[in-house]
Amino acid sequence: MKEAEKLNLTKSLELFKEAEKLIPGGVLGARKPTDFIMGEYPIFLEEGRGSHLIDVDGNEYIDFLCGYGPIILGYQEEEVDDAVIQQIKNKGFCLDLTQPYQNALAEKVIQLVPSAELCIFLKTGSDATTASIRMARAYTDRIKVMRCGYHGWHDWCVEMKGGIPEKFYEDVYEFHYNDLDELEDLMKKHGDQTAAIIMTPFGHPLHQKMQEPKPGFLEGVRKLADTYGAVLIFDEVRTCFRLRMGGAQELYGVTPDLTVLGKGIANGYAISVVTGKKDVMMTAASELFISSTFFPNSLPYIAALKTIEILERDNVLGNIWAKGDRFLKKIQGVIEKYDVGAELSGVAPMFFITFKQDEMGTRKNRRNDFYTQLIRKGFFFAPHHHAYICYRHTEEDLDKAVQAIDESLAYVHDKYAR
């Protein structure tokens, strides 16, 4: 199988060299070049439209990262952006006091999310997960936290511990998704001191295969939280308004005490939510201080209300599930053609192609070669992060992606054939 031609990334690389003089590391966080494949992926993008991206060198891609999840409809979604523009032009958005859109959005979230009785609006997923832990600790008058999944960059949960005193996370214990016995053992040791169990109800661990809950797993976690009087928190930043309007809790039928959501609710505008049972949520009314100059900014409220309107009106999630199911079946068929250790996991709206370990230790090389071929062919998948489908992905987009995946796996197969 012929190797795809390397992309021209001249301007991207020049901008990165410039950025290294201006920004620590040039680019921070999950978007830094080393989180992709150095020299193969663009570092700076110019434009997004529909399901496509264009980088600063003019290369065009069909995108499957969707801004790391917020793009549920598509880039430059006209109805959403027009609603925001009208708010800017006609009423303003950063005022002394809260505008009434807060109430309208809260009512909508409470209508849609099973656990929702009251809402607090913030900006980022990290804001919201941290606020939920603060609420749980205030409500229970306990300190310890059991966690499963990625919950942001704040001191209590971030994986990289540089600059963080151990005392800030010494009361946080990790358990693994679908391992109820592990959580049960932790609760036997620490249950009477545990304020919260926080977890992603759909398993999307960093760099690993995605997992749906085993029968009884979420129900078992719910029972353990009840037994020990801990607050059960579902981190649905990625899954709410994507797996279902009401999130994974609606899909799997297990209701937490608190829910954290964001990303897909506003199609790229910065907003997150903590919602849940009234008695836990009310700690924020008098016992806690949760505030930011920008939390009441009305632009993401407007975007969220319009995004939800479109999601409901056009049956967006039904569309994503239907075409995603067809897409994943085709991918699985392609994977089965080539004995290269590729594995497909996830569900229609969010999925991941990973590679198994092998005796020769070539897993990382096979993965990098596969994703290098895809990006060169004009398909933006991330080697270390799962993919998403958005509403504006067309059947043509998806069929082209299947063909590119086939060709890329064939390349890997030929290169590593024994």
My answer on whether 185 and 304 are in the same domain is yes
The answer to whether 169 and 198 are in contact (CB under 8 A) is no
My answer on whether 119 and 214 are in the same domain is yes
pLDDT at 2: 86
My answer on whether 303 and 342 are in the same domain is no
Question: Whose structure tokens read 């049960």?
Answer: 184
Could you tell me the residue range of the domain that residue 122 belongs to?
Answer: 78-313
Confidence of residue 206 (pLDDT cuts 50, 70, 90): confident
CATH at residue 185: 3.40.640.10
My answer on whether 125 and 269 are in the same domain is yes
The residues, ordered by sequence, that sit 6+ positions from 329 with a Cβ below 8 Å of its Cβ are none
Upper half-sphere CA count for residue 306 (Cβ side, 13 Å): 21
348 Cα distance to chain centroid: 15
My answer on whether 234 and 351 are in the same domain is no
Q: Of the residues 255, 278, 313, which one is the last residue of a structural domain?
A: 313
- In this predicted structure, the answer to whether residue 65 has a pLDDT above a threshold of 70 is yes
Confidence of residue 418 (pLDDT cuts 50, 70, 90): low
Q: For residue range 345-377, list pLDDT tens digits in order.
A: 999 999 999 999 988 889 999 999 999 999 999
My answer on whether 37 and 138 are in the same domain is no
Q: Is residue 5 part of a domain?
A: no
Q: Of the residues 313, 340, 372, which one is the last residue of a structural domain?
A: 313
Q: For residue range 273-322, list pLDDT tens digits in order.
A: 999 999 999 999 989 999 999 999 999 999 999 999 999 999 999 999 99
My answer on whether 224 and 146 are in the same domain is yes
User: Could you tell me the sign of the dihedral formed by the alpha carbons of 89, 90, 95, 101, in that order?
Assistant: negative
My answer on whether 154 and 174 are in the same domain is yes
My answer on whether 19 and 148 are in the same domain is no
Q: What is the mean pLDDT of residues 94-98?
A: 95
pLDDT at 359: 80
The residues, ordered by sequence, that sit 6+ positions from 411 with a Cβ below 8 Å of its Cβ are 1, 2, 3, 4, 369, 370, 373
Q: For residue range 135-176, list pLDDT tens digits in order.
A: 999 999 999 999 999 999 999 999 999 999 999 999 999 999
Q: For residue range 210-269, list pLDDT tens digits in order.
A: 999 999 999 999 999 999 999 999 999 999 999 999 999 999 999 999 999 999 999 999
